[in-house]
Structure 1
Amino acid sequence: MGDWADLPGVRTWYETEGTGDPLVLLHGGFCTNDTWGPLRADLAAAYRVLLPERRAHGHTPDVPGPLSYTDMADDTVAFLESVVGGPAHLVGWSDGGVVALLVAAARPDLVRRAVVIGANSRPGPECFAEPSMLDTMTPDGAELAFFREMYAAVSPDGAGHWPVVAAKMLDMWRTEPAMTDGDLARVTAPVLVMTGDDDLMTLEHTVSLYRAMPQGQLAVIPGASHLVPLERPDLVSRLILEHLAQEKVETMMPVRRAAGADGAPAF
């Protein structure tokens, strides 16, 4: 079921499915809610799933000016407050994962638990496995053909607006996000950081992101790429559901999660 939310930043299209505790799915850059297809049934069987399409994505129109993760995070905060009506679990893929991290850092009161898949905390030139891809991608190039067709099929701005949106996205990837370890340390919610072992982001960057969060957990999916939710949907769904249902981490020989000197858990 789809509807519109009149948020302060942009009139936003969203879909809902299932019942139960709220779970907000945040799609990747250039994408629409359709890319969540392989996971939706499993997640909606356990949660009330809400799927907003961010500004300049899918059915949601573009707005004047550059695109920024901060603005999209502000939109998501407004969505949580006005549509969800309170805290929710967040699952973000790629750009959606970046947005989820920003929301969790800025508004911990609105995030119960989170999963970020193929996310990054630094600009593309600092964390992409192949930073040169930013120089070869063009709005009309073959590399973006799949996304161009997806955009043209549903955007209220029309296919002719695609070059504008594509240029904005590429500019954003070159300079954003710019989260520090201190920013990530403010993410107090339990966060599962998931990545393919051949992701767009270097494994080193992903590990540093996981380590910077007090309640971070890490899952590296073997034989998988940045499209791991499409490649291994059954495994990804299971890991998401297990993480969201987990009350606390209990292991037999903790090191990073060992109790502090005062006997209290490290987080």
Structure 2
Amino acid sequence: MGDYADLPGVRTWYESEGAGDPLVLLHGGFCTNDTWGALRTDLAAAHRVFLPERRAHGHTPDVEGPLSYRAMADDTVDFVETVVGEPAHLVGWSDGGVVALLVALARPDLVRKAVVIGANFRPATECFAEPAMLDAMTPDAEDLAFFRELYEAVTPDGADHWPVVAAKVVDMWRTQPTLSTEELARVAAPTLVVVGDDDLVTLEHTTALYRAIPGSQLAVVPGASHVVPLEKPDAVKRLVLDHLAQDAVETMMPVRRAAAPARTA
């Protein structure tokens, strides 16, 4: 079942199902909640799952002006406070992962644990394996046909608004996000970083993200690309549920997670 929440920034469409600790699923750029289809039922068997569609995506209307991750993070904070009503786990894919990171930084009191899948903390021009692909992402490009069809099927703004939204998203990718590793070091929520071994975000960038977040965990899924939740849903589901269920990371030979030696006088 879906409904609208009248948030300060935008009237936001969301769906919810299941019972238990709240879990907010944050979809990727150009996407709708349909792209969570392979995961949501199993996640809802263990959690109360909330699926908001961000401004200019799915059933949620566009807002005048450019798109920004920070505005979408503000919307997500409002959503957690207004609709969820308590701190929640955040699972974000691609742009949703960026939003999850920003929420974790701005409002650590609202984030229990986080999972970020195929996420980046710098603009696409700095972290995409092939930055030139941005130039080919025109509204009528064949590579965007899947996303265009998702959008046109449900948008309240009308199918002819697609070129506006497509341009806004690509412009955002060119210049955002602009987080530093020093900022990421302030992420307090236990975080799992997930990426496909052939993701459009380079493994070097993903490793930098993992290393910057204290105590985070890293999972590289073999035989997968940027759409790893669609390609390997069982693997991603297991990773997410295990991360959310564990109390602490315990290994036999810790290095990165080894306790710092006691200081002597």
TM-score normalised by L of structure 1 = 0.97
Aligned counterparts of 2:41 and 2:2: Cα–Cα separation in 1: 16
Q: Specify every segment of 5 or more residues in structure 2 that has no aligned partner in the other structure, as ranges.
A: none
Aligned counterparts of 1:86 and 1:102: Cα–Cα separation in 2: 18
Moved more, 135-144 or 249-258: 135-144
Aligned counterparts of 1:183 and 1:72: Cα–Cα separation in 2: 18
Aligned counterparts of 2:232 and 2:141: Cα–Cα separation in 1: 28
Amino acid aligned to 1:172: M
- In the alignment, structure 1 residue 73 sits paired with structure 2 residue 73: yes
Match of 2:149 in 1: 149
Match of 2:52 in 1: 52
Q: How does 1:137-176 map to 2 (within 5 A)?
A: 137-176=137-176
Aligned counterparts of 2:64 and 2:210: Cα–Cα separation in 1: 34
CA-atom RMSD, angstroms?
0.7
Match of 1:34 in 2: 34
Q: How does 1:111-260 map to 2 (within 5 A)?
A: 111-260=111-260
CA offsets, 1:84-126, max 9 Å, x none? 1121000000000000000001111100001000000000000
CA offsets, 1:22-57, max 9 Å, x none? 000000000000000000111000000000000000
Amino acid aligned to 1:55: R
Match of 2:97 in 1: 97
Q: CA deviation at 1:247?
A: 0.4
Runs (4+) of structure 1 exceeding 6 A deviation are none
Amino acid aligned to 1:121: F
3-state SS, counterpart of residue 139 of structure 2: coil
Aligned counterparts of 2:236 and 2:27: Cα–Cα separation in 1: 15
TM-score normalised by L of structure 2 = 0.98
Aligned counterparts of 2:210 and 2:203: Cα–Cα separation in 1: 11
3-state SS, counterpart of residue 260 of structure 1: coil
Aligned counterparts of 1:257 and 1:33: Cα–Cα separation in 2: 35
